[in-house]
Amino acid sequence: METMNHDYEKKLLASVVIPTYNEEKCIIRALISLEHQTIPREVYEIVIVDGRSSDRTVELAKKYANKIIQQKNKGVAGARNDGVAIAEAEIIATTDADCVVPRDWLERILKDFESRDFVCLYGPVKPLEKSFKNTMFIGLNNFFVHLLSRLRILNMAVGSNTAFRRREFIKVGGYPVVSAGDDYGLPIRFKRRKFKVRFDKDLFVYFSMRRYEKYGFLRSYYRWLANVVNEMNKKKVLPVKTYQRQIY
């Protein structure tokens, strides 16, 4: 992607919200990738919402983040909602502390929003841990995510690679606070209010597979999707045990 031909005004164009919990091994890598974007550093802010980490996560993040707060609401969804509450830009992007974003990630997000009338944008992921199993699983997942978007059946956004307009986010009540699948649930809330959601196949982040490997691919996927189905129906249609990638 070519750099946008912009004479950027000295104003905040985007806020990046990252939930953290005991991420000292990964957080620096993620923040360095955000620090070296193709747009000027002064036109975006980095907001860290920490779940009371017991390691050096907060200490390490201070060098890069504009704002660091301790989360008030439960779970990953609660952390993201807390971050949006203090974010100052109209365009909000979310990613995770164990992800790595390409240099043009924010530039592509801003360019997409500049020329479209949607309120939510999301894209695919690529595995950081490049085993055959991980590459195959993510490849299949990306294919179905794209297909479901094209067929207008379901927008399977992931919190590690999503952006949205702050005003409409607040209108729909933010991320649903569920044990998993809150990131899938956000586009559902937008679509209920007739807001447009868009999938950009070229907007990607490098995604850590460590939690899939820890909990198992099928179990993780089922529990996330079960929460999505339950959110869509506003009741517990599919049985699902309480599950979060991190308990905090």
Pick 182 or 59 by higher pLDDT: 59
Q: For residue 78, report the phi and psi dihedrals to the nearest 5 degrees.
A: -60, -40
Compute the distance between CA of residue 237 and CA of residue 22 in angstroms, rounded to an integer: 33
Compute the distance between CA of residue 223 and CA of residue 211 in angstroms, rounded to an integer: 13
Q: Which residues make Cβ contacts (< 8 Å) with residue 199, sequence separation at least 6?
A: 121, 122, 123, 145, 146, 149, 150, 155
Angle at 30 between CA 160 and CA 77, to 5 degrees: 35
Show the domains of the chain with their CATH numbers: 14-233 (3.90.550.10)
pLDDT digits 0-9 by tens, 161-219 = 999 999 999 999 999 987 667 888 899 999 999 999 999 999 999 988 766 656 666 77
pTM: 0.86
Q: Which residues make Cβ contacts (< 8 Å) with residue 170, sequence separation at least 6?
A: 84
Going by C-alpha positions, the residue among 46, 48, 61, 52 that lies closest to residue 19 is 48
pLDDT digits 0-9 by tens, 110-136 = 999 997 789 999 999 999 887 788 788
Instruction: Output the pLDDT for position 246.
Output: 46
Instruction: Output the pLDDT for position 140.
Output: 87
Compute the distance between CA of residue 119 and CA of residue 193 in angstroms, rounded to an integer: 11
Angle at 101 between CA 56 and CA 96, to 5 degrees: 45
Position 108 pLDDT exceeds 50: yes
